Structure 1
Amino acid sequence: MKSSPSLISAMTSPVEAAKEIYDIAIAHREETESLRRIAPAVLEKLKDSQLFRMGLPKFLGGWEDNPVEVLKAYELLSSAEASVAWSVWNNHLACTFGRFLDEDSMREVYSESSHVYANSARPEGIAEIVPGGYKVSGRWSLVSGCEISDWFAMRCLVTSDDLPSTLGPGALLKLFFIKKEDIKVIDTWHVGGLRGSGSHDIEIKDVFVKESYAIDFNSPVSIDNPYSRLPIGCLNSAGNASIALGLLKAAMDELIKMCHDRVTPGKNPDLRDRLTIQTAVAKSKTTLDAKRTQLHNSVSTIWEEAQKGNTYTDEQLADVWAASVEAATAARSMVTEIFAVAGTASLYTKFRIERVHRDIHAVLQHGIIQPHWLNQAGMAYVGLKPTGAMFRI
């Protein structure tokens, strides 16, 4: 397809944009926590930065360059406030889903630079085929950022007289792009970790969605560029892992700060004198550096193949899935160890370790980072064909 004229100027480096958000995210951390959604000042800054649009083509304000820079941005944002990183990551997925829209529909859905996007890939709705499109109804749980979003990409089971009415063999699933005025938010997000992500339930009742706003993962990709060729599934997993690594960085930095701040006169050993503290800091630094390097290297390989227009091997995809799961799991383990060795200080909200401990356990509840993706990766390594629905998408 020919290149399209620019609607919105392309964003600056994701990392540079994230640096501009870092301090304000920290300054409004408690407000984000108490509101159970991103604090207004942070939200406006995020909109201005175009970090919500990284997964789009350049002519819509997207990044369209090395995805490792996107992972670095997630990690930096997460080290400030996990819910901010989560919202940016969640918007990236909603924007990459847009690659399956035709170009006119893509322009309609993503034309406003201030818009925020939410999504759910869980098929918790029903879409009945009607003249010109579909009638959509359903209730979806865990829809992050639903209160602040302008568009929603929601997955449904498509039904008609000749299609299965339940999930299973032969079922037809599609994603539907729906405006916020057709969405009812149900206040369900009363949680500990990722409290600021605003992941409430939403409900849709008998909303008409035109045919061009319904896509599936076999739909043609209208804008062909290296970024739009990147696999959505494993790249999303890598993003989740980067959020976990950012939380490990935050916990490690807080523990080191506590060691410097809690130095007392006298003969009693200080916090920094404890062998368990010293060991945890050393292990954390090594884990962070090693897992980050492995993750970035695996994604760099995918990016090189995308630039060449090559088809990915299952082993290359497996490398990203495995690196993602291992990075996230190792980060959670180290945060748990830091929480333990810091002693009773970990119980107090004035120390970030308490918050990070809650957040990282919430981050790793997501389906895209579960251990079964290691099984899928292992299948590729031993010469079997991975069967996971999102493995190659």
Structure 2
Amino acid sequence: MKMIDAQITETVRRHAESMEQQCEMDAGVLELIYDRRLFKLFTPKEVGGVMLDLPEALHVFEDAAWVDGSFGWLVQIGSGAGFFATVMEPDAVRELFTTREFYIAGSDRPMGTARKVQGGYMIDGTWPFCSGAKHASLFTVTCRIASNDMEDGRVRAFALTPEQVSVEEDWNAFGLKATSSHTIHAADAFVPESYRFNVTAPHFHFDHPVYHYPFMPFATANIASTTIGIARHYFEASRAHIDGKKAGWMDKTPERYRHVYRLLEENEKFFLHARKDFYDAVAASWQTHLHGRPVDHYHLDGVVHCSRKVAKAGLDGAQALHRHLGMEVLMEDHPLNRIYRDLHVASQHGLLIDDTGKL
């Protein structure tokens, strides 16, 4: 069965505008996600997950983001956190990951402190941009360890339960509004030793090829696939918008219709070419990985480069086209406006930004 089907598309798009206004996922949409296990695409089957191969999951993330940017972002972020199953203690994973409503919100920014105590750690800190904070069943945070021993100053991640966290509803970005990517706070929260993990350490629990794929290109490709889906939706919606304007434009200024349609065709073609390069780079690295050979820098750099290139192609194309679509697309409640804003915010993620000037 196709994971992102007509029922999901119709349900999510019907609620998209209200979810943006409410700044969180609709309860019915969340129920559909839980039923389809869309937050568990990288969660081990032993704890109720789906556990897809990386290339297959990337296409699901793209399709989800094509339906709606906030929906796709949360499916991708929620599933991506399943990677932590292989670096946490197996008993903790069985305890925390099995719930039907499983979703991890968190931050990789080392903005907390972990003080070693008997049996675990006391956690204090503040972490911004925790996508899905309003419905998370678990939070992961990154801290510097303060223990007056050899661990002092090291950075490690920890799992916190919802009752240990307070959510500050401060996500006021101009796109991806329904992701509830808020700041979280923890004070004197006790975390047992088994809830500590290190995503860069060797990982062999709940074995699967995804868990041995290098984490940074894994995360970069996941986010890139989300921007691909949003950009694909933008070009598709733009085409429908232009077709709706054709009669009026052809009657008054036929050269406008031809010019705008040409802009659409040229920018969409460039984007689709970059999309193909992205999936080709992922496939090449994945096949090398499956054959038991280390994924070398050539393949990994190719995945990261193509991730950034396709995000830029989608955003640049939307920017080139948007200002030619008329005044109505400037209104926040216009569907193209929402897609445009979502694309800007998704492509702003640090993993997709190239500051070398090579793209």
1:72 matched to 2:55: no
Cα distance in 2 for residues equivalent to 1:23 and 1:372: 39
CA contact (8 A) 1:60 1:111 kept: yes
List aligned pairs for 1:102-141, cutoff 5 A.
Answer: 102-141=89-128
**What's the CA shift for 1:19?**
4.9
Q: Kindly tell me: are residues 373 and 61 of structure 1, through their superposed partners in 2, closer, same or farther at Cα, counting changes over 3 Å?
A: farther
Q: Secondary structure at the match of 1:196?
A: helix
Per-residue CA deviations over 1:313-370 (Å, capped at 9, x if unaligned) read 0111101000101111111101111211213232124532211221111112212212
Cα distance in 1 for residues equivalent to 2:231 and 2:27: 26
Matching residue of 2:169: 187
Q: Kindly tell me: are residues 288 and 23 of structure 1, through their superposed partners in 2, closer, same or farther at Cα, counting changes over 3 Å?
A: farther
Cα distance in 1 for residues equivalent to 2:276 and 2:50: 22
**What's the CA shift for 1:129?**
1.0
List aligned pairs for 1:206-355, cutoff 5 A.
Answer: 206-216=188-198, 217-264=200-247, 268-269=251-252, 274-355=257-338
Cα distance in 1 for residues equivalent to 2:41 and 2:255: 41
**What's the CA shift for 1:202?**
0.5
TM-score between the two structures when normalised by the length of structure 1: 0.85
Cα distance in 2 for residues equivalent to 1:158 and 1:271: 66
CA contact (8 A) 1:50 1:62 kept: yes
Matching residue's letter, 1:107: R
Q: Secondary structure at the match of 1:59?
A: helix
1:204 matched to 2:169: no
CA contact (8 A) 1:276 1:341 kept: no
Structure 1 vs Structure 2 CA RMSD: 2.2
**What's the CA shift for 1:272?**
8.6
Cα distance in 1 for residues equivalent to 2:40 and 2:357: 30
**What's the CA shift for 1:162?**
3.1
Report how many residues are paired.
358
Matching residue of 2:26: 39
Matching residue's letter, 1:97: F
Per-residue CA deviations over 1:237-271 (Å, capped at 9, x if unaligned) read 11211221222222211221122222436973467
Q: Kindly tell me: are residues 338 and 31 of structure 1, through their superposed partners in 2, closer, same or farther at Cα, counting changes over 3 Å?
A: same
Q: Secondary structure at the match of 2:49?
A: coil
Matching residue of 1:371: 354
Matching residue of 1:9: none
Matching residue's letter, 2:101: S
Cα distance in 1 for residues equivalent to 2:218 and 2:41: 13
CA contact (8 A) 1:37 1:195 kept: yes
Higher mean C-alpha deviation, range 297-306 or range 38-47: 297-306
Matching residue's letter, 1:336: Q
Q: Equivalent of 2:84, from 97, 100, 112?
A: 97
Higher mean C-alpha deviation, range 220-229 or range 83-92: 220-229
Q: Kindly tell me: are residues 26 and 267 of structure 1, through their superposed partners in 2, closer, same or farther at Cα, counting changes over 3 Å?
A: closer
Matching residue of 1:174: 156
Higher mean C-alpha deviation, range 238-247 or range 263-272: 263-272
In the alignment, structure 1 segments of 5+ residues that lack a partner are: 1-11, 166-170, 379-393
1:51 matched to 2:33: no
Cα distance in 2 for residues equivalent to 1:326 and 1:183: 37
CA contact (8 A) 2:242 2:261 kept: no
Cα distance in 2 for residues equivalent to 1:159 and 1:310: 38
